[in-house]
Amino acid sequence: MPSLTIVNRHYPPNPGITGESAWDLARYLIDRHGIDVVVVHIERTYDGGGAIRQPVGETHGVKTVYAGKNGLLKLIAGLLDGFLLIRRALKVRRGPLLIMTSPPMLPFWASLLLWRTPYWLWSMDLFPEGFAAEGKVSPTNALYKWVIRQTYRNAPQHLIALGPRQAEHVRQQYGKAIPTTILPCGVLMHQERDPICPPWRNPTDGLIYLGYAGNVGQAHSAGFLESIIRHLDPTRFRLVLALYGTKAEQVLQAANGKAGIIRLPNIPRSQLHYLDVQLVSLLPEWTHIAVPSKAMSAVGSGSPVLFCGSPDSDSYVLLQPAASLVDISQPIDPAVAAFLANLTPEWVVAGKQVAGRVAAGLQQQVKTAYVELADLVRADSSSD
């Protein structure tokens, strides 16, 4: 029977977007193609986003060495977890090994330990580059440069990337023309839409609802949201904030006492379409290293996006023409002010129509990628 082994830190029932992505691929391969899927993951919970789902496939949980909240101990545990995942995967694997990029050093261990075992790489957030982007280590640090060399020494047989720009970046790092499948993250085949207007929105007030739902972490711009807050006209707009992450408190403090701002603990995915424009950001040092799934989820829900980041980011490239750009290399305030000044109900109606077309195109891209991967799994099985 054709088989595939997926290796990742997260997997349902634990939430987390990388685990949810692995689950979605596994479900498709099992249901549509009868492919045997094995998943090796860490037995732990995760405080981030993502839906709670029941696992599919044959799962093998690996106990983490530390499941607490201490930052340094979590970092050390993440380094060791990658080694433990690869070691377990080599024992239970069937078919190709599909290595994801969480925990952060998993690709490093794959490069070191899989010299005699061909593997595929599914690039989500890229590490160790992410450590440098976060400022945890200098790019000129000797140990960091050694880890980078080792990580990109042993190239995968096949690459699954979140977008064409990230794919180009990863291939340059390996110095090889690796066969590649583009698989955007955060694109759902069946986006649930609650028909009942949520209590945070008044359907008769005639206002435009902007929203940021999700992580405001190291990769994101608090300054962008603070600029939106400064320029918000409460007679025309509402700003819905459902935030978590390292910079969330900073943004919420800037919103204190401001009219027109609605704070929520979270927004269910089924209610995202009640936001007229969704806000997404990515700092320039994270371009290609991360591709926020929130941007894809926003357009998938039917909302156009205002993206603050680099025009070379896949979050902007993939979402054309449903994404408007605030170029983060330029002053943010004038761009935000101009966008809001020109934002009208008519623009929102047209923008949602465009977002629907872009979402359909992304869904087709995901379907094409899934079929391509199923064909690769079958081809690998027939060659054994």
**Cα gap 59→179, rounded to integer Å:** 28
Residues 221, 132 share a domain: no
Residues 13, 144 share a domain: yes
Q: Are 345 and 337 a contacting pair, CB within 8 Å?
A: no
Whether the pLDDT of residue 45 is over 80: the answer is no
Tell me the HSE value of 116 on the side-chain side, using a 13 A CA sphere: 1
Whether the pLDDT of residue 52 is over 80: the answer is no
Last residue of a domain, one of 149, 183, 217: 183
Give rounded-to-5 percent helix, strand, coil for the chain: 40, 20, 40
**pLDDT tens figures, 105-154:** 999 999 999 999 999 999 999 999 999 998 989 999 999 999 999 999 99
Q: How confident is the model over 324-335, as a mean pLDDT?
A: 98
Tally of domains in the chain: 2
Structure tokens at 72: 């340094």
Residues 216, 136 share a domain: no
Residues 147, 10 share a domain: yes
Residue 126 is predicted with a pLDDT of: 94
Q: Are 86 and 113 a contacting pair, CB within 8 Å?
A: yes
pTM for the complete prediction? 0.90
**pLDDT tens figures, 62-80:** 998 887 777 788 878 888 9
**Cα gap 379→382, rounded to integer Å:** 5
- The residue among 49, 33, 28, 35 whose CA lies nearest residue 1 is 35
A 10 A CB-CB count for 277 gives 23
Residues 293, 240 share a domain: yes
Q: Is the four-CA dihedral 254, 355, 332, 290 of positive or negative sign?
A: positive
Residues 320, 171 share a domain: no
The answer as to whether 202 is a domain residue is no
A 10 A CB-CB count for 313 gives 27
Tell me which of 64-78, 217-231, 263-277 is least confident.
64-78
Residues 348, 241 share a domain: yes
**pLDDT tens figures, 141-157:** 999 999 999 999 999 99
Distance of CA 93 to CAs 90, 270, 321, Å?
6, 36, 42
CATH (domain of 305): 3.40.50.2000
* Domain range enclosing 172: 3-183
The answer as to whether 123 is a domain residue is yes
Q: Are 25 and 6 a contacting pair, CB within 8 Å?
A: yes
**pLDDT tens figures, 183-214:** 999 887 667 899 999 999 999 999 999 999 99
Whether the pLDDT of residue 176 is over 80: the answer is yes
